[in-house]
Amino acid sequence: MSPAEATTLLVDHGRQVEAELETLLAGLDRPEAMPAERRLVAAMRHAVLGGGKRLRPFLVRAAAALGPAEPAAVLRVGAAIELLHGYSLVHDDLPAMDDADTRRGRPSCHLAFDEATAILAGDALQALAFEVLARPDWPASAELRAELVAGLARAAGATGMCGGQALDLAAEGASLDEAAITRLQALKTGALIAFACEAGARLAGLDPERRDLVSTFARALGLAFQIKDDLLDATGSAEELGKPAGADAAQGKATFVRLLGEAGARARLEAVRAEASRALDKLGPAALLLRATLDLVVERRH
């Protein structure tokens, strides 16, 4: 599959995810709601609609393509992951955290609204992510819904994203070795990327051996994603990124570029890409979409 074809699929799937998110967020509208409630929902919409590549939902779809899966289920799981991801960006941007003014080329949530509303919008998005997975209005058994909630919660919590963000904040100004920075990444961004792939494999009904291969791929993909992110932050422009470039270095953040240098980070990226590719070789031709996604992640310019 050519990069252009893969991009077209990504963009098209992103539109479907956007529509699913619109529907799920519209479910929060209440005729009796007071202005402050409407404002909270507006902040939630600001945080998750109208931006983002929707890479994680596409990973659900790409992994689900390894077997038969309900398109509606693929969309619901992808949307839940985006709700969770959107909440994490809102909280990461807060003044007490990374203190970021822009996100996806727009004011971050606490500037577009206010800090208290941003905290609450993030909190409510997290709750909504679990609600839309748990409730029975989409094609999934109760067993599957409970399993996905537990998996998403593990990826989100202290042994996942929250733990990773705690490591990231503690690493400012500190010098981490490669093992430490890899652990930081595995928790902060890797856990949710891995969940997206593993949830797709679950929807596709893969056997345990093939699900393990998807997990191996996902761990390598997540690492590749972060190394690429660090390279883009170090070498990209704000216009391309939709957020300030060089922000990581300015904050003394632990990044692969800071640790390995630009050339070293590029070499590491290629090694990790090869590792991901080997797992896909074993999954065979049905891994077409996962391979295209790997290429997109490694070759993206923003």
* Chain residues in the site for a second copy (CB under 8 A): 28, 30, 32-37, 39-41, 44, 87, 91, 94, 96-97, 114-117, 119-124, 126-128, 130-131, 133-136, 141-143, 145-147, 149-150, 153-154, 156-160, 162-163, 165-167, 169-171, 180, 183, 187
Hunting for tokens 């996806």 — which residue is that? 104
The distance of closest approach from Cβ of residue 135 to a second copy in the complex, given in angstroms and rounded to an integer, is 4
Identify which of residues 28 and 288 has a Cβ nearer to a second copy in the complex: 28
244 vs 49, 96, 108, 289, CA distance in Å?
20, 18, 12, 31
CB nearer a second copy, residue 157 or residue 261? 157
Query: Which residues touch 86 (CB under 8 Å, ≥6 apart)?
Result: 44, 47, 48, 52, 125
CB 50, min distance to a second copy, A: 18
CB of 180 to a second copy, least distance (A): 7
List, in order, residues 6 or more apart from 263 with CB less than 8 Å away. Answer: none
Beta carbons within 8 Å of 149's beta carbon, 6+ residues apart = 130, 133, 134
Smallest distance, a second copy to C-beta of residue 132, A:
8
Q: Which is nearer to a second copy, 123 or 275 (CB)?
A: 123
CB of residue 175 to a second copy, shortest distance in Å: 14
SS3 10: helix
What gap in Å lies between CA 104 and CA 117, rounded to an integer?
19
Closer CB to a second copy, residue 25 or residue 231? Answer: 25
